[in-house]
Amino acid sequence: MSDLSILKTLSSTLPVQEQLMPVLFIGHGSPMNGIEDNEFTKAWVEQASTIPLPKAVVVVSAHWFTRGTFVTAMDFPATIHDFGGFPQPLFDVEYPAPGNPQLATEMTNLVDHSTIQLDHDWGLDHGAWTVVRHMYPMANIPVLQLSLDYTKTPTEHYELARELSALRKKGVLIMGSGNMVHNLRMMNWEMIKGGGYDWALEINDQFKTLILNHEHQQLIDYKNLGKAALNAIPTPEHYLPLLYTLGLQNETEKVTLFNDKAVGGSLTMTSVRIS
């Protein structure tokens, strides 16, 4: 996309198109995936190659947990290095994708049963840029982030996603970024290259079955799925982005899984595509 094309995108409302954009949930894992070439990042690149070129990307990241729901609305969001203890090359990364303030404003007008506020201070955290920089390395597609309101129930997050479904008809790629199973306190670094505890594999399999069978209500009510689910989701921020992806699914759409692997004992990289 040329600079002129970007400016036109920034200054105009996106037109409606016939084809629905796919929706993704990405298990983003370690920030190091942002600079590594591994099995997970290669799958992100492969997904991008089979998706129509988006007019914009909206990421619901586990790492922007707020009171109220916000969407980034600046022309050029900053690259946020929201982690510590990693090698300097990871901190040196800049992902200079443009934003799209007009699209952000349009998103605030789409919702009737909730409120989305414009944000001019956040940027792209590692739940967004570590993934998107592999998928769209030229940084020439506008990228926005949508925050997770910690005062909302899982049902309210799911319903908010449903209100954003019109974006799919405008060529916007919506992506949840987190991890279905994410318990850093129970991680085993001897298993970091691969492997999961029995409980982690069990609940991850249960999540996958429910996703493939379109049984969203049980996934919304994950606290009723037993102790394994509570171990997998000690805090909700890495799981909630999955509900945004599922909330955007139509009844007839196909679900495919990729990067279906456990690492570190208590984390799964399992990712979802709806199309």
Name which of 119, 130, 43, 142 is nearest 83 in CA terms: 130
Question: Per-residue pLDDT averaged across 251-272, rounded?
Answer: 97
Query: What Å distances lie between residue 268 and 194, 204, 261, CA to CA?
Result: 9, 7, 6
* Residue positions counted in the chain: 275
Half-sphere exposure of 106 (CA within 13 A, CB side): 19
Q: Quick check: pTM over 0.85?
A: yes
Alpha-carbon distance 3 to 15, whole Å?
19
Q: What is the DSSP letter of 38?
A: S
Q: Where are the domains of the chain?
A: 3-274
- What does the pLDDT read at residue 56? 98
Question: Per-residue pLDDT averaged across 219-238, rounded?
Answer: 98
Q: How do residues 116-156 score in pLDDT, each as one tens digit?
A: 999 999 999 999 999 999 999 999 999 999 999 999 999 99
Question: pLDDT band for position 235 (50/70/90)?
Answer: very high
H/E stretch holding 106 reads helix 101-110
Question: pLDDT band for position 8 (50/70/90)?
Answer: very low
- What does the pLDDT read at residue 15? 83
Residue 37's CB is within 10 A of a number of other CB atoms, namely 10
Check if the beta carbon of residue 241 is closer than 8 Å to that of residue 174. no
- Bridge pairing between strands 56-66 and 143-149: parallel
Q: What is the DSSP letter of 29?
A: -
Q: Determine what percent of the chain is predicted with pLDDT higher than 90.
A: 93
Q: How do residues 108-127 score in pLDDT, each as one tens digit?
A: 999 999 999 999 999 999 99
CATH number for the domain formed by residue range(s) 3-274: 3.40.830.10
